[in-house]
Amino acid sequence: MRRRSLTELASNPDLISGIYNYCDRWCERCPLTSRCLVYATEQVDHHNSQESHDVRNEAFWRRLTSVLVDTQEMINEWAKEAGIDLCHVPEEEPRSRKRRRQLVDNHPLTRAGKKYANAASDWFREFDQTIEISDLRATDADREQLEQFEDAREVIQWYQYQIAVKTMRALSCRTDGWEDEPELADFPKDSDGSAKVALIGIDRSIAAWRLVQLSLPDRIDSTVPLILQLERLRKRVENSFPEARDFVRPGFDEVIGAPN
Ligand code: SF4
């Protein structure tokens, strides 16, 4: 196949402008690769059908979303048992803009994101040291559970560090100050876009941990604290960026084909 130039690729009318600005960069699992210029430039010689790849991925994320909905009620019960008040969201102290810029790295949200990432790493390290995967391959049912576990692990590990990174980006955008310029008042905020990507990573990670529980029921107790950690982080990010959930990411949050 002849290698196409960037101009040729970019002239495709199906592409969605800027779709790659607020995605999670997980192209392998992206349901909109056929609308993305970044993907096109990286896959010019790839012969597989992008459309069937997108349909498969859309179904994957739909399933994970339904798991998240089911898990929400359980989270409240686990929090109650653990004596955690999920509604208590500590107020952040007002600080000067300059000071806040200096403190992004040590911001409570950044620290909470990193703490979760480390806790997830510890969990998988302990898991890998104590389980023989070959023992799980005995029956068809076991194989299905193993596949589910591997899918969940892939999701968790994809977002494990990205949650903190995107949260830090959201905090940085805000502390930079340019979002507060009066002439930008009507524009969506980059900080909200980044916070939304972090929140989606949190949602998907919670659902994926629930899939881990369903695959490995004897590990439920060790995974509940991770889910609660994520749930608290979710509430804190939502509290700090109340408009984030409403941010419309090009492509992902639009009804594609609808007039603007
Ligand atoms: S929009 Fe999808 S295909 Fe494009 S860079 Fe993001 S994840 Fe990859």
Domain coordinates in residue numbering, the chain: 6-47, 60-85+94-245
Q: Tell me the average pLDDT across 188-196.
A: 94
Residues 241-248, mean pLDDT to the nearest whole number: 96
- Which pLDDT score is estimated for 226? 97
Question: Cα 113 vs. chain centroid, distance in angstroms?
Answer: 12
Kindly give the residue spans of alpha helices, DSSP state H, lying in 83-219: 97-102, 108-130, 140-159, 162-176, 190-215
Q: How far, in Å, is the centroid of ligand 1 from the Cα of 29?
A: 9
CA 38 / ligand 1 centre spacing (Å) = 7
Which has more pLDDT, 59 or 7?
A: 59
- Mean local confidence (pLDDT), 80-92: 76
Helix/strand/coil percent split, the chain, to 5:
70, 0, 30
* Cα angle 11, 27, 253; round to 5: 75
pLDDT (0 to 100) of residue 258: 59
**Lookup: tokens for 44:** 């010019």
Distance CA 96, CA 232 (A): 26
Q: What is the pTM of this model?
A: 0.80
The residue that leads in pLDDT, 79 or 43, is: 79
Rounded Cα distance between 172 and 166, Å, is 10
- % of residues, the chain, pLDDT over 70: 82
pLDDT surpasses 70 at 91: no
Residue 214's pLDDT band (cuts 50, 70, 90): very high
The closest alpha carbon to 195, from 168, 160, 155, belongs to 168
Average pLDDT, the chain: 85
- Please indicate whether residue 228, judged by its CB atom, sits closer than 6 Å to ligand 1: no
Q: Is the per-residue pLDDT at 119 higher than 80?
A: yes
* Cα dihedral 216/217/221/225 (nearest 10): 60
